[in-house]
Amino acid sequence: MLKTAVLVSGGGTNLQAILDAIDRKEIRDAEVSVVISNNPNAYALERARRKGIPALCISPKAYETREKFHKALLEALRDSKAELVVLAGCLVVIPEMIIREYKGRMINIHPSLIPSFCGTGYYGLKVHEEALKRGVKVTGATVHFVDEGTDTGPILLQKAVEVKEGDTPEVLQRRVMEEAEWILLPKAIDMLAQKALGPE
């Protein structure tokens, strides 16, 4: 059983997609062993508690230095015995010490077709605002392994989503979630649970 830690900052819709996929047996041989958020008000923590999954808030605001926060986060991941770390709408920059420890065992979902609309500053609605501003006809989502760069790790899965006439950033965001993110992330976890972890 692949022990999976899910890191989130907000509502946790991607977390919910993972939990639902486990219930439907679409994710085999994997379980969510802990959910960690930097935000005490993240609804994702409530979603975890309802499922009886340990839900931790580790906020940078609770620590004197960024380094102490990073150490606390790493400690929580180690304590959970996580073999896979999933960034599912996690708005905290993951430090190199954690990336190194989970090299090839940490994945992120990004709401665009990388290499479009990715990198520093591209997260949440900003990605969709930029896609609409540029007039692209197709966007989507990408699951990739996390490395020391921002959205630069090896790509695991991608799925395209049509941009429609009259889309607002919010409408496009929702479509990308429903048609790509909520499908890709569970699929990626299942793939990793079924075979050896890590990019080739």
Give me the active site residues, please: 110
**Do residues 74 and 101 lie in contact, with contact meaning Cβ atoms separated by under 8 Å?**
yes
CB under 8 Å to 29, separation ≥6 — which residues?
1, 2, 193, 194
Q: Is 49 helix (H, G, I), strand (E, B) or coil?
A: helix
Burial of 95-134, coded b for 16+ CB within 10 Å and e otherwise, reads: beebbeebbbbbbbbbbbbbebbbeeebbeeebbbbbbee
DSSP 96-145: HHHHHHTTTSEEEEESS-TTTT-STT--THHHHHHHHHHT-SEEEEEEEE
Report which secondary-structure segment, H or E, holds 73: helix 66-79
**Do residues 80 and 33 lie in contact, with contact meaning Cβ atoms separated by under 8 Å?**
yes
